[in-house]
Amino acid sequence: MTWLETSTENCTVQRTLELIGEKWSLLVLRDAMNGVHRFDDFRRHVGLSEAVLADRLRKLVAAEVLQTVPYREPGHRTRHEYRLTRKGWDLWPVMIALKQWGDRYTADPEGPPLEVRHRDCGAPVEAVVVCTGEHGPLVPRQACTRPGASARLRD
């Protein structure tokens, strides 16, 4: 079965993009990964309307990428913060890869506005595709795609 013969009906990339592929969702996740937790902080920093933000947060909570955690400031009603779940944190390498690509191709001439560095040694962090066998980092031509366990023929 070749790629063109394979159905994309159950494609996991497509399913992932349906959950998080919209621009505002990715920007909310970027901010959550950088310590933003409160609705007003997301709204102010990401710069989107309350209605759009509420919709994206609802979808990310429903997908179990974010969870709500109640908090209460003295004299105010109970509200909720948004925290990444393990499923949400598993998107961190994706965000690093997007940042890495953006730093290379879309950054200002002076360089990227933010750096991600290893807390202990200070070296830059990067996303790398590796072979889980003995071969380590790979370039695209060293990998191949083949049908997986749930592959179906295209109708």
pLDDT in tens, 110-125: 999 999 999 999 999 9
Contact between 69 and 80 under an 8 Å Cβ cutoff? The reply is yes
Q: CA 152, CA 5: separation in Å to the nearest integer?
A: 8
For tokens 């494609």, name the residue: 11
Residues of the domain holding 132: 3-142
Q: What is the DSSP letter of 138?
A: -
Contact between 24 and 48 under an 8 Å Cβ cutoff? The reply is yes
pLDDT for position 147: 81
pLDDT for position 74: 92
Would residue 35 count as lying in a domain?
Answer: yes
Rounded to the nearest angstrom, the gap between the alpha carbon of residue 72 and the centroid of all alpha carbons in its chain is 28
- Whole-prediction pTM: 0.87
- Say how many domains are in the chain: 1
**Count of helices and strands (H, E) across the chain:** 6, 4
Q: What is the CATH number of the domain that holds 25?
A: 1.10.10.10
Whether the predicted pLDDT of 2 surpasses 90: no
Would residue 147 count as lying in a domain?
Answer: no
Would residue 105 count as lying in a domain?
Answer: yes
Of the pLDDT bands very low, low, confident and very high (cuts 50, 70, 90), residue 146 is confident
Would residue 28 count as lying in a domain?
Answer: yes
Of the pLDDT bands very low, low, confident and very high (cuts 50, 70, 90), residue 38 is very high
Would residue 149 count as lying in a domain?
Answer: no
Would residue 44 count as lying in a domain?
Answer: yes
pLDDT tens-digit series, residues 48-101:
999 999 999 999 999 999 999 999 999 999 999 999 999 999 999 999 999 999
Would residue 150 count as lying in a domain?
Answer: no
Would residue 155 count as lying in a domain?
Answer: no
pLDDT for position 102: 97
What's the whole-number mean pLDDT along residues 9-23? 91
Q: CA 135, CA 72: separation in Å to the nearest integer?
A: 51
Two tokens, residue 133:
């066998």
